[in-house]
Structure 1
Amino acid sequence: MAEEEGKEALFSIPTITAVLVPILVSICDYFGPGLHNIVPAPFLAIFMSLCYLERLGPGGPSSSSTLPSSIWSQAAIIPNLYLFLCMALGKGLAYQTPIGENGDSDLGSSMLLGFSLSVVQLVALWIHLSWQERFMKPDEAFQNGVRALVATMVLPTVWVALFTVVYAVSPLGTVGSIAYSQLDNQPFVRWVAVAGIGGLEFIMVWTSVMLARGFTHFMRTRYYKKGGVYDVDPIEANMRKQAGEARSGAFSPMSIYLFMMMIVLLYGSFQVKGILDFSHSSARVVCLSGLPWGSDSSFEDEYSYRLNETTNLAKVNSDIVIWSEKMMRISTLTERDKLWTQARNISATYAKYIGIAYEDFVDAPTNTKGKSMFVMFDKAGNVGFEYQKAHPKPRAENNILPGPSNQPATGRELSLNSGLIGGATEFDLNFHTFSKSIKQQNINLLISLTASKGNIRLGTAIQAFRAMEQGITILSCGGRGAIASSYYNPLVIGSAPILNSLSYSATVFTDLPEPVWTMYQVVGDLWAYICCALTVITLALVALPERIVNRLFAWITKRKKGRNSDNYAGTDGHSDRAQGIALNILDEPLECK
């Protein structure tokens, strides 16, 4: 009989809502961060995932509880697996070209990325629900006070902590962050200049939790008319009768959340207003984009063509002429010297900054693994910097060796408007350890090269976020033309007239404001690290046996009583007044349900 009941629970027929909600989550994930970056999509995806697991997941909704009977029950297997598959499908399709070259779709890699992101997100949701199930009683879920406030912050804290670890170990860096979907959400996105991607993710997930809390409260609090007077159900009545209502109201989750959102939006509004007030100069940058001709063509033909184009562009009224990533392939030392010599002559003759980019296979054994190089010459023809790409793209660049320096390159001769010109590749901007050294080198204009034509929205979002975090201007040159991002103006797209089928040039006029000081330059990812520490505590409280957790909070309550006693008349050293008051950091003794 027990086995039959277990099978019935495991394979019970789901409701229409239980089937549709994960599909809607998948749709929101598809239109979220990645190819589309639709602003409300990630909020809705997290909100619906949370509501699904709370109300339609294992055990089903209960009339007396805000949570199912157990998120680890046998009935949880099918709902969680179904939600996971929908999430993974949506995220995988949203990242069809996260690392592909020239717009080619790499469906296998994107689905693997979607699978990984969904696992991390689902683990965060499970930890959040485990905390709710262990520490929140049925009639306490919607009350005010520190306990309820902490309960709403568990998911955003764990989310930021888990993804901080993922970003640190992933070969794609911060690709996959929901924060990048907010590029068009000004002034909300400006918060990255204070707390970085982790801080913005925290606010986003917290918003989704508050939406789920409000929705659940609305659905479970039923008003009915009785004798001409509106009454409420027992949950609402308990909320109104709770002890210390005035004091707990100061820690109302909704009040604290709205206050924090007011700070975020006010800060962003003032920063957006600064667009009209900042003083700046401008620079005219020409981006020459193309791909190597291949083994069928001779070096001499390609060399002559590329340098002639560069010379023609240097003659016009431009300040900087740069190539996109890996414009040519160099196989011998003679070819490299010849390319450098001609680039020097152009920069010295026309007094322009000239940047060349090429694949260098000179030192590669049997030409199997080379380097992606970016060399910038100053106006006198001297080498300003020589940069080797630090993070080759997984799978797409297996034949490229990573550079020895995990920071952008610059040179003292490359000065421009109270700062220096630096160099990097677009993919390197995905990594916090790389980008945080930008300001330390007094770089004001960072030129970022790319050879990819795919996933424009994601690449521009990452570039814009780095510009706002560091308070500098970043200009990318690649297959999609020239795109400039500054602290005050995150997105300026240059024109891209096609010259012929082999290459084209894009000219962009970019503002070069004075370097802007940001809080992120000082604190970095401190908020993300704080979330990591709090997550360790959260995991301990959720994973430890209940008797140990209850003893811990009983000890805290006892210590709290002692600190708040006026006298110690009792034999145990505590006054009668202290023994009669239940005080601790969570308004009342906290114990497992």
Structure 2
Amino acid sequence: MLNKNERSFIMATISANRYPLRDRWSYLWLVIAAVLMVFTYGMYRNPMAACLAQVFIIRFLHSRKVGRGYFLICLALVLANIISWWNLMPTNPTLVRIIMGSIFGLLYSIPFLLDRVLVGRFNGFASTLVFPFTRAAFEFLTLWPNPMGTYGSLAYSQFSSLYLTQLTSITGLWGITFVLSWFASTVNWIWEEGMLWQRIRRGLAVFAGAMLIILLFGMLRLAYSYPQPDSVRIHGIVETDYTRYEWETNMFPLSKTDPVAFQAMMTPVYERYLQATIREAQAGAQIVVWPEVAVEGFREDLDAVLVRAQDIARQGGIYLAVGLNVIGPNLGSEGENRLVIIDPRGEIVINQLKYGCMAFNMYDFTIPTVDTPYGRLAGVICCDLDFPYVIRQVSQNGVDILLNPSFEPTAENIVAHSQMAPFTAIEYGVSIFRPTSQGISLAIDPFGRILGSMNSTRVDERVFVVQLPNHHVHPVYSVVGELFGWLISIGFVFIVGWAIYRNRKSRTQAIAAPEAQHPSA
């Protein structure tokens, strides 16, 4: 008859030694995982691919020795991420794209390695929690304070599931990542248990119950929660008829070689925006918003545009948000990328610089706000929206409407970037208005519902009109902040500590076991 310590030693030994599994199809799982990972991050997100990719990566690693298995996973993830991120910035040299994709792939591989090393120290259904805590904590600790933003979050892959994304109103992005990772580890646990009902029924019931609660929460939140009935009429004007690639390769160089020809090229763009603003003010707009870098040029030219814009705002009695890009002798192609908001008196009330897309200065950035008859107004430019470290100020300052003028640099960004904005609306309980050049303009309510959209690459009259709710709501996340992120980080530390404890205990028992079997005379 075995005593308690002997039984514990045997169970720990079996658990620690159950990997690698015997699976003759393991290399097939690796190939499938690599293909699915192309559609998990970056430019080509697919919700189902994101759910299944992690399943097959975990299965492959569990069926191989740690060193060789991790090496092959790194190769697969590097290749997948080079492909999925290739067109993020088309003007980057080929070598830079390869390096960036490789870095992303190696970073994404780390939680899978940690799971492979740690999971053997846990028994039964509890082992399914190792990967979600590891994956979500790693994402939180690397993305939340990251000056490159949250573009690489796994959560964004679930853009089409409005019920599931309501979870971000409590946990932020990290809750979605936790759920997706728990799904992957649970499927693998069921797989490893041979899908025997008697062995999996309790764990499966726990996971299914948790998922049911999460989805019911999302359904009820959308069914019974609405912002207050007041709204404001906002018009977005998109008159930019060139791409960022054309600006970088043709137009900006012309400003250096032939300034007069450059000014002649840009003047019609200025006129289209100014005349369209007059037209929309007369049509009943209360707020008119231009996209990011709607007008670009030399400082003296843009100063003249702003003077005329101030006159139009005063005469039309509107708030006018102008995206502009000042270039000059000591400035690059992006120059001074600014958002200027003018009130109905013709006064400039906000004049701010863009701090993304690599926001190394974001830690000291303050988002300015202005109180209006239509609620408290603030604005951030394009990918500035992707930095929760900064955007949390929106809820802290009670912003009702967040303007997010944008300009998509590539065709792939058109879809990928627009999928991210609703998450921010849900997290911070704010309405978002996002007029976008060469992309999809969006109007989003505080619950992430799309109230209107316009793809400026597919329409001739590029005016985007919507009645937008102008009262913020108070999601849990806006109050508790990154509480969930820190809790899962603490959970991960506990998992590491427990694994170390179990490892040392099993070694001690392994030494003591022979002595117990052969006591000295």
- TM interval, shorter chain, is 0.7 to 0.9
Please, which runs of 5 or more residues in structure 2 have no aligned partner? 1-21, 256-260, 510-521
Q: Is the 8 A contact 1:289 1:478 kept in 2?
A: no
The match for 1:287 is 237
Q: Is the 8 A contact 2:145 2:389 kept in 1?
A: no
1:384 to 349, 353, 363: 349
CA distance in 2, matches of 1:490, 1:435: 19
* Shift in Å, 1:346: 0.3
* Shift in Å, 1:463: 0.8
* Shift in Å, 1:187: 0.7
The match for 1:486 is 445
How large is the RMSD of aligned CA atoms in angstroms?
A: 3.4
Write out per-residue CA displacement over residues 184-206 of structure 1, whole angstroms, 9 at most, x where no aligned residue.
11311110011011111111101
CA distance in 2, matches of 1:496, 1:537: 47
* Shift in Å, 1:284: 3.3
Distance verdict in 2 for CA 1:273–1:424, change over 3 Å: same
1:525 to 464, 470, 482: 482
The match for 2:81 is 91
Please, which runs of 5 or more residues in structure 1 have no aligned partner? 1-13, 59-70, 143-147, 224-235, 241-248, 395-400, 553-593
The match for 1:329 is 296
Q: Is the 8 A contact 1:408 1:424 kept in 2?
A: yes
CA distance in 1, matches of 2:169, 2:112: 27
The match for 1:311 is 278
Counterpart AA for 1:187 = Y
For the pair 1:446 / 2:396, whether they are aligned, the reply is no
Q: Which has the higher contact order (CA 8 A, sep 6+)?
A: 2
Write out per-residue CA displacement over residues 165-200 of structure 1, whole angstroms, 9 at most, x where no aligned residue.
221454421111110011111311110011011111
Write out per-residue CA displacement over residues 433-462 of structure 1, whole angstroms, 9 at most, x where no aligned residue.
111100122211111122215313321222
The match for 1:82 is 72
The match for 1:175 is 151
After TM superposition, the structure 1 = structure 2 runs for residues 58-73 of structure 1, keeping only pairs within 5 Å, are: 58=65, 71=66
Aligned with 1:118: secondary structure? helix
1:538 to 495, 503, 507: 495
CA distance in 1, matches of 2:502, 2:194: 34
* Shift in Å, 1:375: 0.3
For the pair 1:297 / 2:262, whether they are aligned, the reply is yes
* Shift in Å, 1:405: 5.5
1:410 to 363, 369, 386: 369
1:198 to 162, 167, 174: 174
CA distance in 2, matches of 1:106, 1:15: 41
- Counting aligned pairs with the same residue, the percent is 16
The match for 1:263 is 213
The match for 1:228 is none
Distance verdict in 2 for CA 1:170–1:308, change over 3 Å: same
Q: Is the 8 A contact 2:166 2:447 kept in 1?
A: no
CA distance in 2, matches of 1:513, 1:207: 37
The match for 2:311 is 345
* Shift in Å, 1:527: 1.1
The match for 1:43 is 51
1:115 to 84, 102, 113: 102
After TM superposition, the structure 1 = structure 2 runs for residues 427-506 of structure 1, keeping only pairs within 5 Å, are: 427-454=383-410, 455-479=413-437, 480-495=439-454, 505-506=462-463
CA distance in 2, matches of 1:359, 1:211: 50
For the pair 1:374 / 2:332, whether they are aligned, the reply is no
* Shift in Å, 1:489: 4.5
Q: Is the 8 A contact 1:388 1:402 kept in 2?
A: no
CA distance in 2, matches of 1:122, 1:129: 11
Counterpart AA for 1:41 = A
For the pair 1:356 / 2:343, whether they are aligned, the reply is no
Which protein has the bigger helix share? 2
Aligned with 2:238: secondary structure? strand
Aligned with 1:339: secondary structure? helix
CA distance in 2, matches of 1:195, 1:307: 43
**Structure-1-length-normalised TM-score:** 0.71
Counterpart AA for 2:109 = L
Q: Is the 8 A contact 1:33 1:458 kept in 2?
A: no
1:125 to 112, 132, 141: 112
Counterpart AA for 1:167 = L
Distance verdict in 2 for CA 1:373–1:94, change over 3 Å: same
Q: Is the 8 A contact 2:338 2:352 kept in 1?
A: yes
Distance verdict in 2 for CA 1:481–1:127, change over 3 Å: closer
* Shift in Å, 1:50: 0.9
Distance verdict in 2 for CA 1:337–1:426, change over 3 Å: closer
Aligned with 1:175: secondary structure? coil
CA distance in 1, matches of 2:70, 2:331: 51
Aligned with 1:437: secondary structure? helix
Distance verdict in 2 for CA 1:331–1:301, change over 3 Å: closer
Counterpart AA for 2:177 = E
Write out per-residue CA displacement over residues 41-76 of structure 1, whole angstroms, 9 at most, x where no aligned residue.
112111111111112x12xxxxxxxxxxxx3xxxx4
Distance verdict in 2 for CA 1:105–1:487, change over 3 Å: farther
Q: Is the 8 A contact 2:143 2:149 kept in 1?
A: yes
The match for 2:42 is 34
The match for 2:190 is 214
The match for 2:27 is 19
Write out per-residue CA displacement over residues 416-435 of structure 1, whole angstroms, 9 at most, x where no aligned residue.
1xx21211112111111111
The match for 1:254 is 204
CA distance in 1, matches of 2:140, 2:370: 32
